[in-house]
Structure 1
Amino acid sequence: MDTDGTQDARGTHATPVPRPAGPPNGSGAEPPPPRPVRPPRPTGAPGGSAGTATPPLPHGGDFLAWLRAPRPEAAPGVWRLRHTPRPEQEPEVTPARQLVTGAVIAFLVGWLVWSLLWNGYLGGWWLLPLYAAIPDSWAEPHTLGAVIVVYAYYGAVAFGLMIAVGRLGRWGELWRRFGPPAWRRAAPAAPVRPPAPGEDPAEWPELRAAGAVAAADRLAADARTGLMRDVDLARIARAWQGVRNGRHSMADFARAVTDEGAAACLHPSGARDLPGRSARHDLLTAQVRIGTTADDSRNPYHYRGAGLGIGPDLLGTGLLAVGPAGSGKTGSVVWPLTESLCLQALAGRAAVIVVGAAGAGLGAAEGYDVVVRIGHPDSVYDLDLYGGTTDPDEAAAVLAEALVGDLAEPHPGGDSRRSTTILAQLIGPFRAVHGRFPSVPELRGLLDGAPGPLDALRKALTESGQDAMLRELDARARQSGHPGDVGGVLADRVALLDRPAFAGFFDTAGQGRPFSLRALDHPVRVRIDLPQRGHADASRILARLVLAQFTASVAVREDRSLFACLVIDDATGVITPDAVRGIQRLRSSHAGAVLTLRTLDDVPRPLRGPLLGAIGCRMALSGLTPWDGQDFAEVWGKEWTEARDVTDRQIIAETPLGKTVHALRRVITGRAVTARAVTVRQVERERWSASELAHAVPPGHAVLSLTTVRGEHAPPLLVDLRR
């Protein structure tokens, strides 16, 4: 057994999952440079040599420490690896100066009281219990029993006085904050003891309980000797899940693991890791760390200082990041999430489609199975214009969304619906005659209404007896040129794709290697480079096409145990009414979308509210405009908070002595003598106002709200994306 059940070809897929893509024989343009990696590993380190990049998870003992590290349950978005939970509410903390001053004053008061008692200035009443307890026979001087009782009584009184003074001066809190307990917290944590054999995850107790002892022994040995890495662990755990679900036989799984160890159940690409990892990943929880929640009063106390981790449980509701150029959308958000999804694809858990401009810094070609460089002559793969479907109506709907979706009205019956009908009236008859869908030049000729292509198609339909399709074509001919006909608009949009730069792309005759989003049944890693330089309008059409094909494909997947995610770096011009509806349906299909925008002005005004409502995770980066901040402030709503109104009222002295004292205090402090009145009330205020989002978010930070697929929410959090 060499798969986990998610990589086998199924159903309608004509080709298996492709291998890693790159220019043939190394020719063509260079791929985008990889992101910076961690410092080189020292010479002689396990698993590599000097000059190679250090993986985020070293092998050997460090791997075992990572595997055995605690991962407590936490609030949505909290980085669970070695997380220390905090209370929900912030405890009241006395200022250090006040605490030390109070402790010293209490000690001096206690010392004064003891001195007064010892020297008899307060009388001998406190010795009456002592006199009552000493027998007459002990009253002699220098009697040992009397001396013991007297000094024991003195010690008891002093001890009681010390306890009272300690409570008054809060010596216990002073000890906890500045004494040995604080020193122990500041000291490095002691090494964690290995868990018991039956509870050690490195020993694979589930496999042993199921009878696969030899497989468990092989995996445990690979983990101890440094031959296993985090991707191997996640991939084999995924394969074991397939055995438990009944998709694979126990014998095949045990044989593969026993023979190959940590290299069993490989991804079809044969890769066991990504080249040059840069983000912090925890594949046991499927999280990637993108920052640290700021220690800010606007953040809930139990989030402050905690790492922020994003996983499929959050991406399943969608993520929208809005911020100007240079705010860190690609480097701090898109790339870590993409890297995490690619690692999960290697583990057989996810399929990822990444769409962005060529050279946008979305990783090297070696990290993907398919790289589609649209408009690049050396691109190995092409993009299927019709999404791999054989249904003309479905193909027409997807293509219409790509061509004129941005012109459609935000209600049913807009241009997109009419465009779908027009395209179906043309590509349906064409497929009936030729057995394939029209290419871009052929489709443009049909939409232009030129007599030649239409007459030839009509003649072929008549000769083959395709009466139903002939009626479709005649209906299109009658509507052509009438007021309200959008055929001309469709022809103009198709003309943007019918350019010399795209002459070798969107082939429908079977001459190329088209990639279809129907491959989302497999754990595939795909990068689609858009030709934004010189072809901005065509790039927006293609981005809408990929989004429309993605939302249509994930809904009909056979294997929904794979998490499918679409990442679009710069979704300008991509958001349409149908796109918003498609994003809303992704959660039920175990899929998600990550979108970035420079500004919400790139989304039509009627669609901004529905888009923010359809997306579960919303991120506003630093540098946001006030009008964009207003949209975020409205969707995040308001909360009840405690408002404190402080009023200083000047005190007027009536007596000469009082006036003298007030004048002296005014000379010393420089301020008039006042009495402070504090009023506390509950008010409803915006969680983050538009002004705060525009001016109070520091560089390198973002405000992020989270929603999980289970419906759990996290309020807007100020996050430092640089840590």
Structure 2
Amino acid sequence: MDTDGTHGGERRTPFGTGHVPRPAGPPGLPGIQGLPPKPAHAPAPVTAVGAVPGPAGGTAGGQAGGAEGGAAGGRAGGPSAGPAVGPTLADWLRVPRPAAGPGVWSYGHVPRAAQEPEVTPTRQLVSGALISLLAGLLLWSLLWNGYLGGFWLWPLYMFTPDSWAGTLPSVVASYIWYAIVAATLAIGFGRLGRWPELARRILPGGRAARAEVPAPRPVEPGGPDDPAAWADVRAAGLVEVADRLGAEARAGRMNDVDHVRIGRAWETVRADPSRARAFADAVRDKGAGACVHPSGARDLPVRAARHDLLARQVLLGTVQDGERNPYARRGSGLALDPAVLGTSLLAIGPSGAGKTSRLVRPVVESLALQALAGQAAVVVVASAGTALGPDTGYDVVVRVGDPDSVYDLDLYGGATDPDEAAMLLAEGFVGDLPGIDVRRAATALAQLLGPFRAAYGRFPAVPELRELLDRVPVALAALREALEAAGQQRMLRELDARERQHGAPADPGPALADRVALLDRPAFAGFFNVAAIDTDGPGRPFSLRALEHPLRVRVDLPERGHADASRMLARLLLAQFNAAAAARTDRSLFALLAFDDASHTLTAEAVRGIQRLRSANAGVLLTLRTLDDVPEALRTPLLGAVGCRMAFSGVTTWDGKRFAETWGTEWVETRDVTHRTVFADQPLTRAIHAFRKLVSGKAVTTDAVTVRQVERERWSASDLAHVVPPGHAVLSLTSVRGERAAPLLVRLGGRD
């Protein structure tokens, strides 16, 4: 798996400096609903002092505190060790979050005009200002010296009486009128010469930001729309509950996760008013700790990215302020949320480009926070040792091949139907082999899984499945005897059909046996067990059928010692996720499966499954070093199946060509300048031109400018390979509602 240069400990890059009030004391740790409880020897979450990242920003943890964070707060619901620094929870809630299209960091976003205003060159402004100044002085001189007559003095004569002649009032009135005329000339010629714009351009402190669209104003404290006042709870008659929640926030005992989690619980109360009493009792008893996640955690042990849980966004970076990006998006934050991740994301970049630290970990961290708030479920698959956060930040950690692993992996994905289980196994085992029909492989497996389950009431473990595929006589005889004793004649016919097909030219049995043998190794002894088997295995099986619960899951694969087995398990997990996400009865939780390295993981059926995830409120995050790790026939369908595409710095030109074809072309305005030599006819003009050429060394020319509209690639393969700077990426987004964001050049790693 690709760790992108993150070996040697966790990378903790601070992405922001905002903080929220520290959480309350450590709550209890009940078991996860829908999962077996952890054994007694499971490592308990530790409590350590560290900086609590704010709701709109944060530090990477206590180790990255100091100047960047400054504050020390509780970890995973632990007590605080110092005062909070940054906006309070109420101030954070009142910051406007205008809707501005897919991928826009909405926290305090200030929209810009769609088109860039025309900017006059400074040299032209200076020359225009000087000309208007000289013209104004000339006109004033002509008026003052009477060369234009005295018509400009008529208003003075009309409004002053003759008796004032030679008196002080007459002198004062005259100079007042002179000042009015001079000011009128200065204003008129100043506007003509654009003096105010020149002053803003060159004077210190006069350069003002061009905010064509007014910035949204924060919500005033105590108004009816104040999100910190819990007005909807108060309006429903739960005044005591609203007061308690407000007091928790003011006292610093509520953080961003608490607010979003309790807000989601209140939404369920509005949908089912019968839950109002239980909600009120929970808030009355536990305050900000009400309706807590089944793990008891109210925050992550450490945050390495900047999050806005109210908008469900994580900040990836800043759109570069350059000509390659649309004017309206320049300088704005680039964020990801379930609205765009629901269309799935594919990222391509070489090792060390930052795919793990700048994409996978922030996204997984955001979904983990949303899981604590009861909004999402996330599963991340990576090589063992990849820096994706501490174990205490997850509810389930499956370490395949590690004898100390607390959890095991259900090989059949929680399926109870033999045909469904066979299809999942076939997709994971031989879905990448050319010339092997996955459906025939699924049929072959079903001819063994069905009889085995009918005989023993469970699916076979890995050694048992290998014996059946290898046609070990003792295993087959025992299975046949059990089926005969149970009177399963139909299953006996299935077993007979498998024996007849064995050895046929297109029989997938040998290939399946070879792939199952990869899992029947001493390193995996005790793993991939089924619940009905009483074994000495260290872990309890975890199934992706648990996606209906707000879970945080990490699966560590033994990539270094068992690369082929790891890739096979990755394919199996992707197939199980596609099936489990589509089969969920409750799709209110957004489900995400993230691969730190999806090399040799994708199959034709998996790509088709990714296309169906959008309607199931789910998505996948796939990272690859190169598209060469995907079968050639699947490269174009894969780019078409995902809605978000990301090319990191350093991609090859052949990978860039695929992205360029996917992003298409756009109409742009080009200017062609033609230089033509001027040939003079008059002797004096020729002499002047000859003198200019002697002095400057260049012939006198004239410029002809041609403006055209041409169709050009948004990003060419050469630009993607050579123009994108290190630490940057080109990213296009599509939301589940069909909104699109053109490819943007993004500087990764937060905002200044």
TM-score of the superposed pair, with normalisation by structure 2: 0.87
Deviation at 1:113, TM superposition (A): 2.2
3-state DSSP class of the match of 1:514? Answer: strand
Corresponding position of 1:138: 162
d(CA) in 2 for partners of 1:600 and 1:692?
18
- Alpha-carbon distance in 1 for matches of 2:360, 2:344: 13
Q: Alignment partner for residue 711 of structure 1, among 729, 735, 738?
A: 738
1:438 maps onto 2:460 in alignment: yes
Partners of 2:117 and 2:623 in 1: how far apart?
A: 38
How does 1:251-330 map onto structure 2 within 5 Å? 251-330=277-356
1:300-449 mapped onto 2 (5 Å cutoff): 300-407=326-433, 415-449=437-471
* CA positional deviation for 1:389: 1.2
Q: CA-to-partner distance for each residue in 1:484-539, whole Å, 9 max, x for gaps?
A: 11110111111111111001100121544100111101001100000001211000
Verify the 8 A CA contact 2:414 2:544 in the aligned structure 1: yes
For the residue of structure 2 that corresponds to 1:676, the secondary structure is: strand
Q: Deviations over 1:189-236 (max 9, x none)?
A: 999784234332111111111111111111111111111111111111
In the alignment, is residue 640 of structure 1 matched against residue 667 of structure 2?
A: yes
Residues of 2 paired with 1:336 and 1:282: CA distance? 12
The answer to whether residue 712 in structure 2 is matched with residue 685 in structure 1 is yes
Q: Which amino acid aligns with 1:638?
A: T
Deviates more, 1:99-108 or 1:223-232: 99-108
What are structure 1's unaligned runs of at least 5 residues?
Answer: 1-6, 27-33
Q: In the alignment, which residue of structure 2 is the partner of 1:4?
A: none
For residue 45 of structure 1, report the CA deviation from its aligned partner.
5.4
State the 1:108 CA deviation: 3.2
Name which of 202, 225, 229 aligns with 2:255: 229
* Range moving further from structure 2, 650-659 or 321-330: 650-659
Aligned twin of 2:244: 218
Of 552, 555, 561, the residue aligned with 1:528 is 555
**Which one of 81, 95, 105 corresponds to residue 79 of structure 1?**
105
Structure 2: stretches of 5+ with no match in the other structure: 1-29, 47-59
Tell me which moved more, 253-262 or 107-116. Answer: 107-116
Q: Deviations over 1:340-381 (max 9, x none)?
A: 010000111000001000011111111000000000111111
Moved more, 655-664 or 501-510: 655-664
Structure 2 residue corresponding to 1:615, chosen from 642, 648, 651:
642
Amino acid at match of 1:533: R
1:157 positional shift: 2.6
Give 1:586's aligned residue. 613
Q: 1:665/1:125 Cα in 2 relative to 1: closer, same or farther (>3 Å)?
A: farther
Question: How does the TM-score come out when normalised to structure 1?
Answer: 0.91
Partner of 2:566: 539
Q: Which amino acid aligns with 2:683?
A: P
Secondary structure of the residue aligned to 2:583 is: coil
Query: What residue in structure 1 maps to residue 149 of structure 2?
Result: 124
Q: What pairs up with 1:41-80 in 2 under 5 angstroms?
A: 47=73, 58=84, 62-80=88-106
Partner of 2:195: 171
Say if 2:260 and 2:310, in contact at 8 Å, map to a contact too. Answer: yes
Task: Measure the CA separation in 2 of the matches of 1:191 and 1:351.
Answer: 34
Rounded to whole Å, the distance in 1 between the matches of 2:534 and 2:231 is 50
- Specify the code of the residue in structure 2 equivalent to 1:295: D
Query: 1: distance between equivalents of 2:133 and 2:442?
Result: 86
Q: What secondary structure does 1:110 align onto?
A: helix
Partner letter of residue 123 of structure 1?
L
Shift in alpha-carbon separation, 1:379–1:157, aligned structure 2, 3 A: same
Instruction: Quickly say closer, same or farther: Cα 1:418–1:57, change in 2 above 3 A.
Output: farther
Aligned to 1:245: 271
CA distance in structure 1 between the partners assigned to 2:254 and 2:351 by the alignment: 40
Partners of 1:406 and 1:36 in 2: how far apart?
44
CA distance in 2 between partners of 1:54 and 1:256 (Å): 23
- Give 1:155's aligned amino acid: A
C-alpha spacing 1:408/1:432, structure 2 compared with 1 (3 Å): farther
Corresponding residue of 1:574: 601
In the TM superposition, what is the alpha-carbon distance from 1:683 to its structure 2 partner?
0.8
SS at match of 1:593: strand
Query: % of aligned pairs identical?
Result: 60
One of 685, 690, 693 as aligned partner of 1:666: 693
- Residues 240-291 of structure 1: per-residue CA shift (max 9 Å, x gap): 1111121861111011112211111110111111112110000000000011
| Deviation for aligned residue 1:98 | 3.2
Write the deviation string for residues 389-412 of structure 1: whole angstroms up to 9, x where unpaired.
111010000000000111257xxx
Q: Which amino acid aligns with 1:324?
A: P
- 1:711, distance to aligned residue in structure 2 (A): 0.5
Aligned to 2:728: 701
Q: Which amino acid is 1:560 matched to?
A: R
Q: Quick one: structure 1 residues 41 and 649, their matched pair in 2 at CA, closer, same or farther if it must change by over 3 Å? A: closer
Q: CA RMSD in A?
A: 3.0
Distance 1:323 1:608, change over 3 A: same
**Partner deviation per Cα, 1:670-701 (whole Å, 9 max, x = no partner):** 32211111111111111000010011100000
Contact (CA 8 Å) 2:400, 2:555: kept in 1 or not?
Answer: yes
Whole-Å Cα distance in 2 between the matches of residues 231 and 19 of structure 1? Answer: 28
2:396 partner amino acid? V
Cα separation, 2, equivalents of 1:56 and 1:290: 29
Q: Which residue of 1 aligns with 2:481?
A: 459
Higher mean C-alpha deviation, range 485-494 or range 253-262: 253-262
Is the alpha carbon distance of 1:405 and 1:55 closer, same or farther for their aligned partners in structure 2, counting shifts above 3 Å? farther
Greater shift in the superposed pair: 93-102 or 577-586: 93-102
- Structure 1 pair 315–43 and aligned structure 2 pair: CA distance change class (3 A): closer
Question: CA separation in 1, counterparts of 2:216 and 2:449?
Answer: 69
- What amino acid does structure 1 have at the position aligned with 2:635? R
1:639-676 deviations in Å (ceiling 9; x for gaps): 11111111111111222211221123224433221111
CA distance in 2, matches of 1:506, 1:98: 75
Q: Distance in 2 between matches of 1:637 and 1:446?
A: 51
- 1:675 maps to 702
User: Is the 1:19–1:370 contact (alpha carbons within 8 Å) kept by the matching residues of 2?
Assistant: no
1:499 paired residue among 521, 536, 559: 521
- Going from structure 1 to structure 2, the CA distance change for 1:55 and 1:577 (only over 3 Å counts) comes to farther
Which residue identity lines up with residue 692 of structure 1 in the other structure? D
**Cα 1:174–1:610 shift into 2, 3 Å:** same
Alpha-carbon distance change, 45 to 483 in structure 1, aligned in 2, over 3 angstroms: closer
CA separation in 1, counterparts of 2:162 and 2:274?
91
The whole-number CA distance in structure 2 between the counterparts of 1:327 and 1:567 is 17
Alpha-carbon offset, residue 155 of structure 1? 3.2
Partners in 2 of 1:698 and 1:183 — Cα distance?
29
**2-side partners of 1:560 and 1:59: how far apart?**
38
Q: CA deviation at 1:73?
A: 1.3
For the residues of structure 1 that align with 2:693 and 2:40, how far apart are their CA atoms?
Answer: 79
Distance 2:45 2:389 in 1: 20
Give the aligned partner of residue 19 of structure 2: none
Do 2:94 and 2:219's aligned partners in 1 also have CA atoms closer than 8 Å?
A: no
Deviation at 1:126, TM superposition (A): 3.7
Q: 1: CA distance between counterparts of 2:507 and 2:217?
A: 74
Residues 524-579 of structure 1 show CA distances to partners (whole Å, capped at 9, x for unaligned) of: 11000000012110000000111111110111112210001000110001110010
The alignment covers a number of residue pairs equal to: 697
User: Aligned partners of 1:612 and 1:19: how far apart in 2?
Assistant: 43
> Which secondary structure state, in structure 2, belongs to the residue aligned with residue 469 of structure 1?
helix
- The structure-2 alpha-carbon separation of the partners of 1:20 and 1:319, relative to structure 1 and needing over 3 Å to count, comes to farther
- Amino acid in the other structure paired with 1:307: G
